[in-house]
Amino acid sequence: MMNIMPVLKALSNEKRLKILQWLKEPHKHFSSAICDVEKEGVCVGLIEQKIGLSQSTVSQYLALLQQAGLITTERKGQWTFCKRNEHAIQALIQALKSL
């Protein structure tokens, strides 16, 4: 069974939850001239612009979401792209149902 405590901690912040919601349907919330947000993920810079927090705060938030397994990140050149980890989110739902 998965350890849900770090996941619940990551979800306990309104802004982190908002980022996760945006990443569910990236084409609705982000547009980019450099990438396909649906296929490649959303560039960290776009998330920073949309949420209106400092780069360091957004980096911390994304690191927590990644450590909890809720998102994946991929570095391509100077860009880092984020996607939801739907498999882990489904596992969390199942773990919560079994409690």
| Residue type at position 64 | L
Range of the domain at 77: 5-97
CB 96 within 8 A of CB 5: no
Domain count, the chain: 1
Distance CA(27)–CA(60), nearest Å, equals 24
Instruction: Give pTM, 2 decimals.
Output: 0.91
Q: How far is CA 25 from CA 5, 84, 96, 97, in A?
A: 26, 10, 23, 24
pLDDT tens sequence for the chain (99 residues)? 568 888 999 999 999 999 999 999 999 999 988 788 999 999 999 999 999 999 999 999 999 999 999 999 999 999 999 999 999 999 999 989 988
| Residue 91 belongs to domain with CATH number | 1.10.10.10
CB 22 within 8 A of CB 29: yes
